[in-house]
Each structure stands twice: as C-alpha cells, then as structure tokens.
Amino acid sequence: MQDLILYHYSMSPFAEKMRTMLGYTGIPWQSVTVREMPPRKVLTILAGGYRKIPVAQLGADVFCDTRVISDELARISGKPELSLTGQPQEVIDFVRKTDLEIFFACVMSASDKRMLKKLIKETSLWNALLFLRDRIAMGKSSRVRTARGPKAKALVLEHMSSMEQMLTNDFLFGDQPCIADFSAYHGIWFVTDLGEKSWIEDYPKVKDWFARMKAFGHGSYKTIKDKQGLEAAKSATPRALDTASKDELTGKPVTVAPDDYGRDPVMGTLAFADDKRIIVSRTHKSVGEVHVHFPRQGFAITAGHNKQPD
C-alpha cells in the first residue's frame, strides 16, 4: 500500500496533532509542506476549495479534517482508539469541546508578539502580514464564538486544571492514549512549545503527560514535492465504497463546506453520504477522478453548484 501523504506546515496545531498520531502509530508517511494560507495550487486540484490544514491523501482518495484523517490512521494501524467512532460519550464530549472551544482559547491566549516573531522567522515579514490578513478575514466569516484576552487564558488554565484531576493514569482515559489525548495535545503544544508560556509548570501531571505525548515524535517519513501527490492521484483510482449511499443527493452536483470556520466550499458530485462521512467525487485534467472525504459532523451539503474548474 502506498504511504499516506500529509499536507501540512510546521506551525499548524492540527497538523501537529496528526504528526504526533503518526508517530504513535509508527506508520511511514510522506510529508508535503504547504503555505500557511491559500492559494495552494496542488491542494486546489486535489481538494477543491477546502482551505484547512492538514489534508491527507492515499492515492486518489483525499481526506479533509483531522476527524476523517484520524479514522484512516485507526483503520491502517489497527488502533481503534484513534477514532472517535465507538468511543464512550465522555470521550466524545471531551474531544468536541477540546477541538473547538479549548483549541481557540489556546490560540487566542498564546498569540502574541513572540508568536509573530516566530512566524516571521519561519517565513518572512511579508508572508506573516498576509497570514494575519487571511486569518482576520477567516475570523469574520467564522460561526465559532471565541474567548479572547484574559478570558481565553482563564479557560486554558481551567482546562489544564481539569486535566490534572483526570490524569490518574498515564493518559486521560486510561493506560494508553486515545483520540482525546491527541485532541488535548495540539492546543497545549501551541501554548507551551510555540507560545512558550510556562503555565504547564503549575500542573505537574499535565506536564508529565505532555512529555509522554511529545515522546511519540513524528515517526518515519520522507519529504516529497507536492506534484508527487498529483502523480499518486493520477496513477490510482478512488477506492471502492464499502456500502451504497442512500442519500437522495447521491450522484448529483453538490457543494460541501464546513459550518464553523474556514467555510470555503468544495464542489463535486456526491458519491456517498451517511451519518459519519461525506464523499465527493471531483475530476480534474491533471489527476482524473478523486474522492474527497469529509466528516458529516461540522459540514453542510447543499444541492447544486457552478461548473468546477478543470
């Protein structure tokens, strides 16, 4: 089987979530570094207008959002604990809160002049200014209400305190990590490693847990050019669907977009939809047909679209 390709950039928290999960699984993977914001030519071909990072690829199947990427890693590695499917309700509730409310509080509380300097060093002053303009524009269209300033910091500290009480074992819900640990990790990574905040020092169990998570590393990977992803898609066909789609829009033109933030639409033909996943078929002269996968939760399907670019 071809190695999974991950499209990411170094300072992306959700990409760090997937990189650490890859380290935990031991799955070899291929790394494609992309710009911090659109335009991203190759991802436009593969995933339409989807703008969030990371994106993963296996041949002619493209996976958008860490929820479906996590499901794929769980399937490939035989580690069901990495998928939200089948988890107890307390894990599901923890992940949903942590991936949105807590994550944004981590970003808002740790984004300061120090963070801006890191971004400038990582890219350039001009790129950093473009990045800030892009994120401001994305924030204006977001439907997620976020805490800011002291309220954001207070929320992060409250979250760390709660985790301190939860950590009666090595990991949040037992002796081995599950999807909840990786969901908690990337926000605290943003605060601690990128933001260089020392808040974790007041929570020794969280600090030890963070060290255990970080020790998974990023696994075994090789860096490739983004055009190699196009070649991988062109030389493959989308994998067969496990079951037939019963959605009334199946086979019809649709638009799919996140309903929270980064709500840029993806156009194609609905190949499959159930209560967990949406799969859109898209074609492009550079790759032929690809299937683009989204989680059902957090995404909206609308009938019809304008002709997609080729």
Which one of 214, 243, 270 terminates a domain? 214
Instruction: Give residue 49's pLDDT.
Output: 85
Reduce the DSSP state of residue 56 to 3 states and report it: strand
Distance CA 236, CA 54 (A): 21
Looking at the structure, tell me whether residues 194 and 229 fall in a common domain: no
Number of domains in the chain: 2
Q: What is the pLDDT of residues 117-131, one digit of tens each?
A: 776 677 665 565 554
Range of the domain at 112: 87-214
Are residues 119 and 14 located together in one domain of the fold? no
Contact 58, 248 (CB under 8 A): no
Alpha-carbon distance of 234 to 263, in angstroms, equals: 27
- Domain end call among 159, 184, 214: 214
Q: Treating both helix axes as pointing N-terminal to C-terminal, what angle do 149-166 and 103-110 enclose, rounded to 10 degrees? A: 130
pLDDT exceeds cutoff 90 at 149 = no
Assess whether 204 and 92 both reside in one domain: yes
User: What is the tens place of the pLDDT at every residue in 295-305?
Assistant: 999 899 999 86
- CA dist., res. 264 & res. 99, Å (int): 19
Q: At what angle do helices 103-110 and 179-189 cross, to 10 degrees?
A: 10
Instruction: Please classify residue 219 by burial: count the beta carbons closer than 10 Å to its beta carbon, then call 0-12 exposed, 13-18 middle and 19+ buried.
Output: middle
Over 80: is that where the pLDDT of 240 sits?
A: yes
At 175-192, the pLDDT tens digits run: 999 999 999 999 999 999
In a domain, 49, yes or no: yes
Q: Inform me whether the pLDDT recorded for 137 exceeds 80.
A: no
Do 207 and 92 share a structural domain? yes
Instruction: Find where tokens 């090789």 sit.
Output: 222
Domain membership flag for residue 310: no
Residues 98 and 157 in one domain: yes
57 shares a domain with 91: no
Tokens for 247?
Answer: 């959605």
- Among 106-110, 148-152, 188-192, top mean pLDDT goes to 188-192
Q: Give the C-alpha separation, 179 to 172, whole Å.
A: 10
Give residue for tokens 């800011």: 148
Instruction: Give backbone dihedrals phi and psi of 194, rounded to 5 degrees, phi first.
Output: -80, -45
User: The pTM is what?
Assistant: 0.89
Distance CA 258, CA 28 (A): 29
d(CA 158, CA 195): 18
Position with higher pLDDT, 140 vs 233: 233
Check which CATH number belongs to the domain holding 289 and give it.
3.40.30.110
Q: pLDDT-based confidence at 309, cuts 50/70/90? A: very low
- pLDDT tens readout for residues 50-83: 989 999 999 999 999 999 999 999 999 999 999 9
Going by pLDDT thresholds of 50, 70 and 90, the confidence category of residue 134 is: very low
pLDDT in the model for residue 71: 97
- Pick the last residue of a domain from 164, 199, 214: 214
Which own/partner contact pairs does 275-284 have at CB distance under 8 Å and 24+ positions apart?
276/85, 277/68, 277/71, 279/241, 279/245, 280/48, 280/254, 280/256, 281/238, 282/48, 282/308, 283/308, 283/310, 284/45, 284/309, 284/310
Token reading at 140: 């204006």
- Nearest Cα to Cα of residue 66 among 284, 225, 295, 309: 295
As a whole number, the mean pLDDT across the chain is: 89
